[in-house]
Structure 1
Amino acid sequence: MTSPSLFRHRNFTLLFGADVISQVGAQISMLALPLVAVVALHASPLETGLLVAAETAAFLLVGLPAGVWVDRMPRRRVLVAADVARAVLLGSVPVAWWLGVLALPQLYGVALGTGLATVFFDIAYQSYLPSLVERDRLVDGNAKLEIVRSAAGVAGPGAGGWLIQVLTAPVAVLADAVSFLVSALLLRRIDAVERVPERSARRGLAKEIGEGLRYVAGHPILRMIAAATATANFAGGIFAAIEMIFLSRVVGLSAGVIGLLFSVAAAGGLVGAAVVGPLTRRVGSARVIWLSALVFPPFMLLVPLTEPGWKLALFTLGTFMSSIGVVVYNVGQVSFRQAVTPERMLGRMNATMRFVVWGTLPLGGLAGGVLGEFLGARTTVWISAVLGMLFAVPLLLSPLRRMRDLPPAEPADDPAGGPADDPADRTA
């Protein structure tokens, strides 16, 4: 019997709607903030690298304790608070611009603050979905949410490029601030009842962080997924630090054209979200994880060949195919993580994974800034593309390579040595 569509599930639909709104705004901001630094404030490669590092440094600063706190608090409350915090911080950018006081230190502060809020949002978000839908529908739910991100990636940069040209980059950030407020309002309407563990069940911050670390390190596949994703993100951090400078100063493109290129490239994510379900059923839910990491990264070798004229298509093709692979990989590996982890450990597992895999982004951003300063933007893009080719190596060395489909959920005693996942602790 076919299960009813998740869009008939009220709470999932509210989560989906909140994601639609905030993702479009976030895509606009992703284009606008670096362009504020590069175009309006004339930032150097090193300074833009520091901005990228500030955006993601929070995963290194609070990533691990955030997982414990998320497991101790109602996750919906965390999501709403994070959205409101991001709205306030981003809203300060156009205000400072209008007052004539906007400077790089403020952008660094906004990037760091929104990054801190994003740490809590992302950990709570990935830990919240299994509370709203059955675990055998996680691939379907994650695929639908990835469609949102991909569609936002198509619409957001194009709209952002147009807004930046018409209104200037700082004002375009205001659209992102408003989107987070609307997202928070939708999330507040979710009525799933969450059961928070009793205070007496808490075992101390350090001990609970250690449980999350041991769980991931002791799992033969999770630890290799962490290594693979960290490698990809380090290469991606290098690319993100230099991408705007490469396109605007080396290739010589306007903000509108850059936004259009981003939109076309992001359409690959939309394709990935559309095909991940059929592809998973055809090749297997485990096999699709390492295949996506093996097949798609080589296309990024086309990007450093980008030049004005017809060679702009090389950037589009390379990033388009890479986007397909990123979405297919993310749906597969996130669904795996959610499926095999006991619910009481989800926050700490996701925090540990985020600490490892997102912690390499600021390191990559700093490396990209330094490399761009001394070797030039195009050479740095080459280095990023070549490093990205190492993405699949840990996965090919893991037991995942010998599996077709994902295993069932972990048994009662998980690798962290904790007690069984009590059904009473689950969201109703």
Structure 2
Amino acid sequence: MAWVVRGEFRKLWIGQLVSASGSAVTRVALPLVAVVTLQASALEMGVLSALSIAPHLLFGLHAGVWVDRWPLRRVLIWTDLGALVLLGSVPAAAALGWLRIEQLYVVGVLTGLMALLSDTASQTMIPSLVPREDLMRANSAALLNYNLAGTLGPSAAGLLVQVLTAPFAILVDAASYVVSIVSACLIREPERPPARPRSEVRLSAGLRVLFGHPMLRPLVLSAAIAAMAGAMLGPLVVLFLVRELHQSAAFVGLNLTVFGAAAVAGTFVATAWCNRVGIGRCYLSGVFLAALNGVALFTGVTPVILLGSACAGLGMSLFGVPQRTLRQALAPEGLVGQVTSSWRTLVIGGQTVGAATSGVLATAFGIRPTLLIVTAGMLAGMLVAALSPLRGLRDLPEVARSVVRD
């Protein structure tokens, strides 16, 4: 996979790797600023968390329209610059004694919007920076950034918070955007087709592509269902391990590390596995492996729990790489941004519903039965794809050339 990180894509990849690593620090440091520095209440923490997600749900469809109309390199530069200023304001306000929870609310929602636009633009740019035959490897490399940051970032954040205090640990993320800005400035963006007239732009265009294509329709339904079920697991894992199984904090950390390491490993084998079994079966096998995590936790057996986390991490990469690649390859020219943002809106919306539902189900039925519900939900998502033409898809279909119009 390493050899595909070259040319103009290398510049994008380096910038995204550095900024993703910095963002992983902020995901830990920003809540700690609220809790430790500002003594935030549970209600205030809930509001801060919700505001960070809100832009993806409120502006997800709009982001695709904007990204498809604006120069992608410019989107990357301005969103990185915006994030740099916003995050830099936190340690500055802390040093002056002016920091308040309301400022964190503003930072949370605006950096969420910057991330939405930046992620949509970077995923939209990838197909124009690499040859079609390298698209899957490029997506593996892009997913590697996310997995590396998610695995190493929290540990680095804990150390930085301890050494620098939480507000000043955020400076690391702010500084990372300087590297990302420089990388984006160096990218020579290929010429894009002229944007459609405003009168022809519809927010629903990306959704109509997703639900109108015989391959993308089962893929997005499968991913949304599996994402909703999988998100139920997040709030329950630590609670189950600590309160019901009486595991130590060290084991909780080990479990997360195993998941992250397996996800990183998965990015290196995803392309080869797709080539061996086909794109459709690679996606199906990834969802199946991820679904095993709920059953593994249900057993309460320590080695099985760690094995389940490894399967989930590996599975996340095995289903993530083919679905990203299919989405980019099958989106009509000029609508890649809208298809990407529509996908993210549906999947993140599903995750939000799943996370909110998990507590209700765990209260009503208990945590152990809820773990089985999670597995059943993910397998239901897999079944949607397995009963569709996606199951037999081996190679990338021809690139769509026409633009969907009203």
Deviates more, 1:92-101 or 1:174-183: 92-101
Deviation at 1:190, TM superposition (A): 0.7
Residue 189 of structure 1 is matched in structure 2 by 186
Q: Does 1:299 align with 2:289?
A: no
- Distance in 2 (alpha carbons) for counterparts of 1:271 and 1:84: 32
Query: Partner of 2:173: helix, strand, or coil?
Result: helix
Q: Distance in 1 between matches of 2:217 and 2:85?
A: 36
Which blocks of at least 5 consecutive residues in structure 2 are unaligned?
A: none
Match of 1:330 among 320, 323, 340: 320
The 5-angstrom pairing of residues 19-98 of structure 1 reads 19-37=16-34, 41=39, 43-44=41-42, 48-98=45-95
Q: CA deviation at 1:4?
A: 11
What is the aligned counterpart of 2:197 among 202, 206, 209? 202
Unaligned stretches of 5+ residues in structure 1 = 419-428
Paired residues of 1:31 and 1:161 also in contact (CA < 8 A): yes
**1:342-379 deviations in whole A, cap 9, x for unaligned?**
32111111121122112223333444566688988888
TM-score (norm: length of structure 1) = 0.81
Residue 158 of structure 2: aligned partner: 161
Tell me how far apart the structure 1 counterparts of residues 387 and 13 of structure 2 sit (CA, whole Å).
35
Distance 2:248 2:97 in 1: 27
SS at match of 2:286: helix
Helix, strand or coil at the partner of 1:192 = coil
Do the aligned partners of residues 106 and 337 (structure 1) sit closer, same or farther apart at CA in structure 2, a change above 3 Å counting? same
1: distance between equivalents of 2:150 and 2:156?
10
Stretch deviating more after TM superposition (374-383 or 54-63): 374-383
Equivalents in 2 of 1:402, 1:74: separation in Å? Answer: 37
Pairing 1:358–2:353 present? no
Report the 3-state secondary structure (helix = DSSP H, G, I; strand = E; otherwise coil) of the residue aligned with 2:395: coil
Distance 1:82 1:380, change over 3 A: farther
C-alpha RMSD over aligned residues: 3.4
1:381 deviates by 6.6
TM-score by length of 2: 0.85
Q: Greater relative contact order (Cα 8 A, min sep 6): structure 1 or 2?
A: 1
Q: How does 1:4-403 map to 2 (within 5 A)?
A: 5-7=3-5, 9-37=6-34, 41=39, 43-44=41-42, 48-99=45-96, 102=99, 104-195=101-192, 197=194, 201-204=196-199, 207-241=201-235, 261-303=255-297, 311=302, 316-368=306-358, 384=374, 387-403=377-393
Aligned residues: 404
Question: Compared with structure 1, are the counterparts of its residues 294 and 84 closer, same or farther at alpha carbon in structure 2 (3 Å cutoff)?
Answer: same
Equivalent-residue separation in structure 2 for 1:248 and 1:84 (angstroms): 41
Residues 292 and 311 in structure 2, CA contact (< 8 A), matched pair in contact too: no
Write the letter of the residue equivalent to 1:6: V
SS of the residue aligned with 2:192? coil
Relative distance call for 1:386 and 1:82 in structure 2 (3 A) is: farther
Aligned partners of 2:41 and 2:365: how far apart in 1?
17
